[in-house]
């Protein structure tokens, strides 16, 4: 299992980014995928999860209404659209496969991680 997160960058407050989590060697649609982030000096935290196929999605309260998770099976990729970004969203963002295909207990059940991508929100 190999995942690669990309799409991070420097953006002004209120701006947008789209992060990608690409898989190689296995069909990503067979896995629930979670996005997590870790800011400097803070513990890693969950952001969002998408269950297998085009199933239900879940978000932490601090990103509801601003972030959107989706998947493109043809591209074997899961996306995280980040809108209305705030300085407190600054972190390294990671994607991971989740043990439970319906995202049950997703925050505590990440399995295989990809390399992170840096998101910096600053004016």
CA distance 16 to 28: 25
Per-residue DSSP letters for 18-61?
A: EEEEEEESS-GGGSEEEEEEE-TTS--EEEEEE-STT--EEE-G
- pLDDT tens, position by position, 83-110: 999 999 999 999 999 999 999 999 998 9
Residues 63, 45, 23, 33, Cα dihedral to 10°: -70
Q: How many CA atoms lie within 13 A of 119 on its CB side?
A: 30
Task: Categorize the per-residue pLDDT at 1 as very low, low, confident or very high, splitting at 50, 70 and 90.
Answer: confident
Residue 54 has pLDDT above 90, yes or no: no
CA distance 92 to 119: 6
């Amino acid at each position: 299992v190999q995942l690669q997160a990309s799409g991070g960058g420097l953006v002004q407050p209120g701006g947008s980014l789209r992060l990608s989590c690409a898989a190689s060697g296995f069909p990503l649609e067979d896995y629930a995928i979670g996005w997590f982030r870790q800011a400097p000096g803070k513990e890693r935290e969950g952001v969002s999860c998408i269950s297998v196929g085009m199933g239900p999605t879940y978000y932490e309260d601090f990103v509801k209404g601003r972030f959107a998770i989706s998947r493109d099976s043809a591209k074997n990729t899961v996306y995280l659209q980040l809108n209305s970004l705030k300085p407190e969203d600054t972190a390294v963002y990671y994607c991971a496969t989740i043990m439970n295909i319906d995202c049950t207990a997703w925050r505590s059940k990440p399995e295989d991680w990809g390399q992170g991508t840096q998101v910096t929100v600053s004016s």
